[in-house]
Chains A and B, each alone.
Chain A
């Protein structure tokens, strides 16, 4: 059964720093991987989707990488801003492709 973990659980950084969030999955036979952002009391917003054949995907200051063989993905945020403060979650399709398995998230605080 696919399991997804995220480290660290929480992260606090000063504004302007570059940072990396980690996502690990137990079954490397994934179809794709998605990164999401969740603000307090809100739904999830899709940030990036990486297909299994891709190594990286970029959107603005965000860069996501995927290493299927090691079961890892990283989300790189450049020049962090207070507005980046949120919880970041990653998700992969389950082994049957019927639904998605989510990580517990990393709660990010960017201090002004």
Chain B
């Protein structure tokens, strides 16, 4: 089945560690996105990519990094510079800008 796969579903990070969240899509979509959702709050854009080897910062990019080496993959690294990383992270994709956007099931990150 076509879709977006995020892994892991649950991740625990120690202070000072970098962690990477995986996002893979087999929808042949050009655009991919990472959002952060805090409990009871809306979605905030971290990074987005409209094409391979190119990505742009969103509203809250500080402390995060991404890469887009392949069309189907858009991993997000949460670095130690992100002081409050505990949140629900959502990856999404769309065939082109302004088209229907599809989401993965999300990843929970907790700092321990």
Could you list which residues of chain A lie within 8 angstroms of chain B, going by C-beta atoms?
A: 31-32, 34, 36, 41-46, 49, 89, 91, 93, 97-100, 102-105
Residues of chain B lying within 8 A (CB to CB) of residue A91: 101
A45, A49, A93, A99: most-surrounded residue (chain B CB, <10 A): A99
Q: Which of B48, B98, B101 touches A31 (beta carbons < 8 Å)?
A: B98
Q: Quick check: B48 and A103 within 8 Å, CB to CB?
A: no
Majority secondary structure, A binding face: strand
Q: Which of A34, A97, A103 touches B100 (beta carbons < 8 Å)?
A: A34
Q: Quick check: B102 and A46 within 8 Å, CB to CB?
A: yes
Q: Quick check: B90 and A43 within 8 Å, CB to CB?
A: yes
Q: Quick check: B106 and A100 within 8 Å, CB to CB?
A: no
Tell me, in angstroms, the Cα distance from A41 to B104 when the chains sit together: 11
Could you list which residues of chain B lie within 8 angstroms of chain A, going by C-beta atoms?
A: 4, 6, 33, 35, 41-43, 45, 48, 50, 56, 58, 88, 90, 92, 97-98, 100-106, 108
Residues of chain B lying within 8 A (CB to CB) of residue A44: 90, 92, 103
Beyond the given pairs A97-B98, A98-B50, A103-B42, 8 more chain A to chain B contacts, judged by CB atoms under 8 angstroms and listed by A's residue number, are A43-B6, A89-B43, A98-B48, A98-B56, A99-B33, A99-B48, A104-B41, A105-B42
Residues of chain A lying within 8 A (CB to CB) of residue B97: 93, 97-99
CB pairs A–B below 8 angstroms (26 shown): A34-B100, A41-B108, A42-B106, A43-B4, A43-B90, A43-B103, A43-B104, A44-B103, A46-B101, A46-B102, A49-B100, A89-B42, A91-B101, A97-B97, A97-B98, A98-B50, A98-B97, A99-B45, A99-B48, A99-B97, A100-B101, A102-B42, A102-B43, A104-B41, A104-B42, A105-B42
Tell me, in angstroms, the Cα distance from A41 to B9 when the chains sit together: 10
